[in-house]
A and B are shown apart, each in its own frame.
Chain A
């Protein structure tokens, strides 16, 4: 019964991609992304904007030139796929062009994804 209640709470939270993370800590972690990614308009950034990232199909923005690997990945971005990607970008989507080694710390990834869920709407 207890377990069922937990699932009932946890699933919608995951769906909202707020997970267990702390968006305030995630904001600091986002500096690692900010060299290339905007949370707003595409602007003068080397990577695609993250605005609306949650729920977006990977490689789907019309005004960004993605790698073939990203375009054919078939990934939809949610808390789970973002977590796997940020943990080890080349392992999750081999051949993608993001120049980032990944974040090994699960708690920090949760924070970052929680921040994205709030800030990259």
Chain B
């Protein structure tokens, strides 16, 4: 028998970046807020203190900070004709679990998405004609413009301590920044990080070729920083343990050192960890949420937490799962193309990159940060880049990062090297210091068959159907990777390496090797309930006191990392709740 608790103003499901931002903003506005986090509590000290945090086997290989697939996972298939099977080990992507969520173990790349991303369909129809967009590619505009979101991007950058160099201040181009970026009202809060040697070489070669290299914006603090809320960040020490680790130096913008402690300081805020939300409870009209059901996974006790507002702030995948389990909105059916929840799942094709080997250069790859990099937007944010030559929609960024040089995971060897044995050992020792990578990261357009629904067979520990993911890369993705991969290879050749790998062609999506934790869509935002699950304030069209915050709202995926707009949208939604919904509950118009 579940214990019924006292009603609060807001219940937040999941306490990572989006939950943390809402928790802080709404509790500071005097609302009574309870956050339910299904993982445990975490703090820099002792959880991320050196030397124990440098345990590559525990954190990078065995994913100690991530969702445990033995308790909850999803099932996967490439197409509706295949039988879906559960993902029993994490691989392709790494959803976070525990206080701070994936905001603890992300790398920190923090983009503002492009003007094209914000108005995708309008842009392509206007520039290339309506026929350029295939009929099975349901792309749509964001329901808010870049300019509307600009102050919120800015707010998130200042919260997270983003290091970078502006390329466009209020319409004036800035030397050294991203030539193609949208106008910013002001500079980044912190200057760009130091570049690695490989990044310097790439910058020179890319500029020679006529491109516009710039330092990638990242939430790795280039120097000590106090954010506008008074949260203190240390300076990055280039230790190469960002992604999959918590930061020992508090130098990575993370919710557990910024927004969450600010919420915790509010008497109107309460955090409950190990609290697994299984369902959003609706009233008999099914147009109003009355709270959530959850289980304390440390005791097994079930609870009902009544609330006037339910904010789904779990990982993007789990937000969609909770909507489907709770019956919020109509599930999407790829055959009839009716319904909406589960639609437009997108990921992020990579694989067009090349690795360069130099007999005569030492790159010291262990001096690394998760996010620093030298990037090109000439084939992504640029409107000057004519997509007709590529024959596809979207584009890709080209970048030299150097997220780590860790002993287990980082073993670059030239093509043709044996996979094990004495020859492999010799090669890995020789090339460890002498290799660098040029990465290609592509945008991903939706397709009618790439979607989520509930699995008919497999269930989680609570006996609830697992989420089923149907997904594959498609022709559009292959064209983008092939086209931009060739451009990356041309730059690489001009750098005259001793040898280099060939840019691989994009095959079928493989859920096993890690690619990126950039899963988007499923609860997409839009201007009409016909084509979206949530409105421009990330408010459910069907159940208006449910807000679904995070990358689940993206109608497509950019070639950029998602966290910049994820943070911006969380602030945007918090504002809408505070200033509009709170006074006049119902659909915000």
Contact = CB atoms under 8 A, between A and B. Distances in A.
A5 interface: no
Given A35-B250, A47-B45, A100 B51 contact: no
B429 interface: no
A55 interface: no
Interface stretch (B5-13, B233-241, B334-342, B578-586): B233-241
A95 interface: yes
Contacts of B251: 35
A47 B251 CA distance: 14
A47 B309 CA distance: 38
A99 B43 contact: no
How big is chain B's contact interface, by range? 20 to 34
Nearest to B264: A44
Nearest to B223: A32
Interface string A27-49: 00001111110000000101100
Interface string B229-268: 0001111011100000000111100000000010000000
Shortest 4 CB-CB contacts between residues of A and residues of B = A35-B234, A46-B45, A99-B249, A99-B248
Interface of B: 43-46, 49-51, 223-226, 232-235, 237-239, 248-251, 261
Interface string A91-108: 000010101110000000
A100 B261 contact: no
A34 B45 CA distance: 15
Nearest to B232: A35
Contacts of A33: 224
A98 B319 CA distance: 38
B249 A44 contact: no
B237 A101 contact: yes
A100 B45 contact: no
Contacts, number: 51
Contacts of A101: 235, 237-238
Contact of A32 (B51, B234, B238, B239): B234
A35 B237 contact: no
A97 B50 contact: yes
Given A47-B45, A99-B234, A101-B238, 4 more contacts: A31-B226, A35-B251, A46-B49, A100-B234
A46 B257 CA distance: 10
Given A32-B235, A35-B224, A100 B249 contact: yes
Nearest to A101: B237
A15 B233 CA distance: 32
28 contacts: A31-B225, A31-B232, A32-B223, A32-B234, A32-B235, A33-B224, A34-B226, A34-B232, A35-B250, A35-B251, A36-B45, A36-B232, A36-B234, A36-B249, A46-B44, A46-B45, A46-B49, A47-B45, A97-B49, A97-B50, A99-B50, A99-B239, A99-B250, A100-B235, A100-B237, A100-B249, A101-B235, A101-B237
Nearest to A95: B51
A36 B224 contact: no
A56 interface: no
Contacts of B248: 99
Nearest to A48: B45
Contacts of B232: 31, 34-36
A65 interface: yes
Contacts of A32: 223-224, 234-235
A22 B235 CA distance: 22
For the complex, would chain A's binding face be called helix, strand, loop or mixed by DSSP majority? loop
Interface residues of A, number: 15
A32 B43 CA distance: 19
B33 to A, nearest CB: 20
Contacts of A46: 43-45, 49, 250
A47 B248 CA distance: 11
Contact of A36 (B51, B223, B250): B250
Contacts of B51: 95, 97
A46 B250 CA distance: 9
A12 B45 CA distance: 37
Interface string A76-96: 000000000000000000010
A26 B237 CA distance: 20
Contacts of A47: 45
A5 to B, nearest CB: 39
A40 to B, nearest CB: 14
A65 B235 contact: no
Contact of A99 (B224, B225, B237): B237
Contact of B46 (A65, A95, A99, A100): A65
Contacts of B225: 31
A35 B250 CA distance: 7
A54 to B, nearest CB: 22
A101 B45 CA distance: 18
B284 to A, nearest CB: 45
Among the interface residues A33, A44, A99, A101, which one has the most CB atoms of the partner chain B within 10 A? A99
A46 B251 CA distance: 13
A55 to B, nearest CB: 25
Contact of B249 (A34, A35, A65, A95): A35
Contacts of B235: 32, 100-101
Contacts of A31: 224-226, 232
Among the interface residues A31, A32, A95, which one has the most CB atoms of the partner chain B within 10 A? A31
A34 B261 contact: no
Contacts of B233: 35
Nearest to B221: A35
A20 B392 CA distance: 65
A68 B46 CA distance: 14
Contacts of A65: 46
A99 B238 CA distance: 11
A2 B235 CA distance: 43
Given A44-B261, A100-B234, A101-B237, A34 B224 contact: yes
